[in-house]
Structure 1
Amino acid sequence: MTITSSAEIWVRSALVQVRADPTTIRRWFPMAARKVGAEHESVRIRLLRALPDRSEIPALYRYGDVHERRAIILSAAQLGVDDVLLELARDAFRSNDPRLVTASANPAVVERLTDEEVDQVLMKCVFMEIPLDRVPALTRRATARTSKMLAGFVLERVCAGRSVAPEVWPVIDRFPPSGELARIEQQLTADDPERRRAASAALDRRGAPL
């Protein structure tokens, strides 16, 4: 999708003004959705690229709506991740909005996260029922600790008689945690019929194609 010629004229004017006076982005950044419609995210990233430094970005994030915040986090792919953007991304993945959590899982950010932070974001995606195929940068960073955590999550779900998303299994099976897997299998003979049903369904999904 491309923006209209009149919208592009507005964008180019805004870019000129931002380059001349970075503080003007405080006005143009929130206006992008009204001026360019569906392409507001990419336009906001263009405005951020026009800034000579990162000094305006924290306030744009702090006072922005979810779309503005998401554009800032996604801009890391083009701006590069410095300490400013990394801290904002960390704030994004602590949020309860899946749009911000998935934005914080973009490859430019994920490569700067510690293994523990990767696990935190990945587990948050699982708890929020965000499909893991939307956050491949996280799953590529999976370790044996990640697999064990996910298997523990599956065990908790099974013991509660609840279903499990099938996409967790390829990550678990990258480093299969024998203890957790054995305890999941033990639920097949549990006294509670709901546990037996949940264990059977979860293990059936383990071998099913995604």
Structure 2
Amino acid sequence: MEHDDWLEHAVRQTARAPVTIRRWFPMVARKVGDDHVEARIRLLAALPDRTEIPGLYRYGDVHERRAVVLSAGRLGVDDMLLDLARDALRSNDPRLVTAAADPAVVAALPDDEVDQALMKVIFMGIPTARVPALVARVTPLTSRRVAGFVLERVCAGREVAAEVWQVIDRYPPVAELEQIREQLHADDPERRRAAAGALARRG
């Protein structure tokens, strides 16, 4: 069976007998190839209701879980999909974290959870360019939190990515920035080096 024919067959069967998606969903990558995310979302969209979705996420591999989370943009975010996206945000897999930063999901999250998600992205070293919906929700508190993270890194003598400044400088926090500058005169040479490097990356 050709790839397109297989997918159309799977979509029809899913619509008629939702439980069969448990068979089709794991097979998608092997049957469809590079378009497996979109194909999985098509299968999810064919479901007459969403009762099968939590199980597909719970027992799926990272690619299957990622497709479930990304389906929020097509299917619309309800409490169930939002809970699954929150689970993805708690994971340590950058593929799941960035998938859960889908604009439809981010729009449904309160500010504090958006901040937590963005902080995790920065902590994990995920480029913020991959999560524009999170960056768009930056508040003055977000800027202070990220500046506090930079201060912690500097005090530990560790480097920070240049892109943190696009978050911090949305609402520059005076006190935290001054504390970072003070490390230029710290007794510890590693702190001085880290502070100079961080501030130089501010551009």
Normalising by the smaller structure, the TM-score range is over 0.9
Which stretch of the first structure deviates more once superposed, 22-31 or 5-14?
5-14
TM-score normalized with structure 2 length: 0.98
Shift in Å, 1:56: 0.6
Q: Which residue of 1 aligns with 2:108?
A: 112
Counterpart CA distance in 1 for 2:73 and 2:182 is: 45
Q: Which residue of 71, 75, 82 corresponds with 1:79?
A: 75
Q: Which residue of 1 aligns with 2:39?
A: 43
Residue deviations 1:180-210 (CA, integer Å, cap 9, x gap): 1000000011111111111111001112xxx
Q: Percent identity?
A: 68
**How does 1:1-210 map onto structure 2 within 5 Å?**
6-207=2-203
Counterpart CA distance in 2 for 1:32 and 1:170 is: 39
2:33 is paired with a residue whose SS is: helix
Counterpart CA distance in 1 for 2:14 and 2:77 is: 21
Letter in 2 for 1:95: S
Shift in Å, 1:29: 0.4
Residue ranges of structure 2 left out of the alignment (5+ in a row) = none
TM-score normalized with structure 1 length: 0.95
Residue correspondences, number: 203
Letter in 2 for 1:8: D
Residue ranges of structure 1 left out of the alignment (5+ in a row) = none
Counterpart CA distance in 2 for 1:53 and 1:121 is: 29
1:145 is paired with a residue whose SS is: helix
Runs of 4 or more, structure 1, over 3 Å off, are none
Shift in Å, 1:38: 1.6
Counterpart CA distance in 1 for 2:102 and 2:86 is: 12
Residue deviations 1:149-198 (CA, integer Å, cap 9, x gap): 00000001111111110101011011111111000000011111111111
